[in-house]
Structures are given as structure tokens and as C-alpha cells.
Amino acid sequence: MKKMIFWTAVVLPMVLVAHAVFAADKIRAASGGFGTAINAIVPGAYHQKVFQKYGLDVEYIALDSGTLGMQTLLANEIQVLFTTGALPVTSNLQGGDVTIIAGGINFFPFKLIVRPEIKSPGDLRGKTVAISRFGSASDFAAVAALEKLGVNPKQVTLMQLGGNPSRLAGLSGGSVQATVFSEPYASMAVKKFGMREVLDLADSGIPFPQNCFMVRRSYLEANRSRVVNFMKGVIEGLYVLKKEKAAAIQVIKRYLRIDDDEMAAIGYDYYLVKHGDDILTLPDRKGLEMVIGQVAATIPKAKGQTPESLRLLEPSVLEEIKKSGFLEKFK
């Protein structure tokens, strides 16, 4: 009898745990272009094992760019993507069914950083400006910054250099004369490499869907509970990172590929503390309209389109979470 009690006490919990792991809903999520500290939310929740509380077996992938992330989402190799909300516009114009279910940052969090020899906006004419990839947030931001300074984007060469480390190397090495960085890379470029800040787009008042959570509508319709639980994990992950700054700093350093605690703390304070709660909103409609207008300059099919005609926004996921009272425990 004692042996039977022993095996019941030891083996049964193991079987139950194994069953729980086996039964967990699997989902693959990615950040496309880990350019800002706001991207720490998903890997933060992943490393803190928050998603498991909501019955999810999440695999997290950090991708170099949002463009690659969108390709991966459309191929159904991932189910949730956190990247710029500009990408669903071009995707859906080509027949995609991508929709934004939550926000992240609804403005341009970029600063235009130039080499020391660039003394005035006019000096940028004929020069090379680095972006990550065409169609990315950095692409839209670079164009917006140039226009804000009175420089025709056609008077510069936009060069695709990839993520922040590659663009910083190109800028400091002199192969490009300007680029756009968010924090903490903007501060790193100025303080550690002697570059100059020319413009802070956050002060421009230009709305832009910088970071958004997106899924394919077909996946949402077939797996709604998974998507809702994923967003619950993301929201709890945000508040965990807000409370545990040291852990958040380590996540930021790991995924932004920086080794400076002070620089990582700049990103933490600006994105997670100051703007982290923006994930509880949807992108500003005017920002999406601006993107559609920009895209229409090169893709005629975009002319006359609206966020509604392209089915870019799906508010029901956030609405369900808010109505359930889920957010009350984090106040």
C-alpha cells in the first residue's frame, strides 16, 4: 500500500504535467526588425514563461526585418508578427489577409542621425541614407525626415543595409552619410561614435503605425482563443518587465545586440515605461491613411483604398480582453 501511495504521489503529477505540455496550444511568434526596446515585450514574456500560464507552447523568433517577417507570416511559418503596421498595406493590396489586432507605438520613434561633416540639411543632397529594407518603418521614417527638412527624397540614395548594427557600422565607417535610429541606437551613435542628431521625428506629430501585432484573418477565425491568450500573455509580459527592470535590461541587450546597461536603460525607460501601454490600443487611422498614400505613389492599386477596404484593423481581440476584466489585475 505504501508503495502504491508513493507512485501515486510521484508519477501521477509527472503524467499530468506531461499531459499539460502535450496539450498546450502551439504557436510561433516573431518580431520583425528588432529596432526598438518595445520589441522586448514578446521575448520578455517568452523567457519569463508567461505564455505557459495561458495554455500556450510559444516558439519565439527574432527576425532581421519586418519585410522578412511578413513573408514568413504569409507563408504560415509563424502565426503572430510584431512589426511595422505599414507592411499589411502592401500585403493586402496583393491579396493578403493580414490584420492588426493591437498596437505598440503609434508615431515615428526615429531620429535622423548624420555624420559630423553634414552641417545642414542641404548637405544631404547627393548623399546616401541607410535604411533597413524598402517598405520597412525605417524607409518611411527616412523619407518623412528628409521631407520635413525640405530635402526631396529623390535627391538622395536610399541604401538597404539591414538592422541597426549594420547601419551604425555603415554610418561610422563613412559608407553612408545618414540614417534613422530609434533609442538607444540614436544615443549610441551620438555619444560613442561622434555622429550628429538632426531631427527627432517623435516631435513631428506625424502619426505612423510603428509597431503592431498582426495575424492572418484566416488563422484568427480558426484559432481565436489562441490569439486572445497570446495577447493576454503579451500584456502580462509587459507588466512583468515594467516591474523587473533588471530582467528587461538583459532582454533588451540580448536582442538589440548592445552591451551597455546605460544605453539599454534609455530604451527601457522610453519604450516600456513611457509607451508600453500603447499595446492596448490600435494604430491611429491617420497613420494608416498616410502609409496608403505613400504606397499609392508607386502602386496605383492603392489609390482610393482605406483601412476599411483593406481590412487592416480587427479591434475585437482587444475588446474581448478589456471586457473580460483581465486588465484589472495589473492596475
Q: Are 222 and 215 in contact (CB under 8 A)?
A: no
- The pLDDT score that the predictor gives to residue 327 is 92
| Grid coordinates belonging to 135 | 517598405
Q: What is the pLDDT of residues 85-113, one digit of tens each?
A: 999 999 999 999 999 999 878 888 899 99
Check whether 249 has a pLDDT greater than 50: yes
- The pLDDT score that the predictor gives to residue 99 is 97
Q: Which of 1-15, 190-204, 215-229, 248-262 has the highest mean pLDDT?
A: 215-229
- The pLDDT score that the predictor gives to residue 118 is 96
- The pLDDT score that the predictor gives to residue 10 is 40
Q: Kindly state the percentage of the chain with pLDDT values over 70.
A: 93
Nearest to 235 by CA among 283, 184, 279, 180: 279
What is d(CA 46, CA 26) in angstroms, rounded to the nearest whole number?
13
Average pLDDT of span 248-262: 89
Check whether 192 has a pLDDT greater than 80: yes
Query: What's the pTM?
Result: 0.82
Average pLDDT of span 121-143: 92
Q: Are 213 and 102 in contact (CB under 8 A)?
A: yes
Q: Are 148 and 2 in contact (CB under 8 A)?
A: no
The Cβ of residue 181 has, within 10 Å, a number of other Cβ atoms equal to 27
313 beta partners: 100
Check whether 15 has a pLDDT greater than 80: no
Instruction: Judge if the upstream peptide bond of residue 184 is cis by omega within 30 degrees of 0.
Output: yes
Q: What is the pLDDT of residues 169-184, one digit of tens each?
A: 999 999 999 999 988 8
Q: Give, in order, the Cα–Cα distances in Å from 85 to each of 23, 138, 203, 213, 285.
A: 33, 12, 20, 8, 11
- The pLDDT score that the predictor gives to residue 278 is 87
What is d(CA 273, CA 60) in angstroms, rounded to the nearest whole number?
23
Average pLDDT of span 244-261: 89
Check whether 13 has a pLDDT greater than 50: no
The Cβ of residue 12 has, within 10 Å, a number of other Cβ atoms equal to 10
Nearest to 165 by CA among 64, 252, 261: 64
Q: pLDDT confidence of 331, banded at 50, 70, 90?
A: confident
Tell me the Cα Rg of the chain.
21
The highest-level CATH class for domain 2-107+208-330 is alpha beta
Check whether 233 has a pLDDT greater than 60: yes
Average pLDDT of span 239-259: 90
Q: pLDDT confidence of 23, banded at 50, 70, 90?
A: low
Helices H / strands E in the chain, number of each: 13, 10
Nearest to 106 by CA among 253, 299, 275: 275
Q: Amino acid identity of 272?
A: L
What is d(CA 152, CA 144) in angstroms, rounded to the nearest whole number?
10
Domain residue spans of the chain: 2-107+208-330, 111-203
Check whether 139 has a pLDDT greater than 70: yes
63 beta partners: 32
What is d(CA 129, CA 102) in angstroms, rounded to the nearest whole number?
31
- The pLDDT score that the predictor gives to residue 1 is 41
Same fold: 2-107+208-330 with 111-203: yes
Q: Are 211 and 84 in contact (CB under 8 A)?
A: yes
Average pLDDT of span 245-256: 90
Nearest to 47 by CA among 241, 193, 183: 241
Q: What is the pLDDT of residues 60-90, one digit of tens each?
A: 998 878 888 999 999 999 999 999 899 999 9
- The pLDDT score that the predictor gives to residue 311 is 96
- Choosing among 3.40.50.10140, 3.40.190.10, 1.20.1110.10, 3.40.50.300, the CATH entry for 111-203 is 3.40.190.10
Nearest to 29 by CA among 104, 68, 79, 88: 79
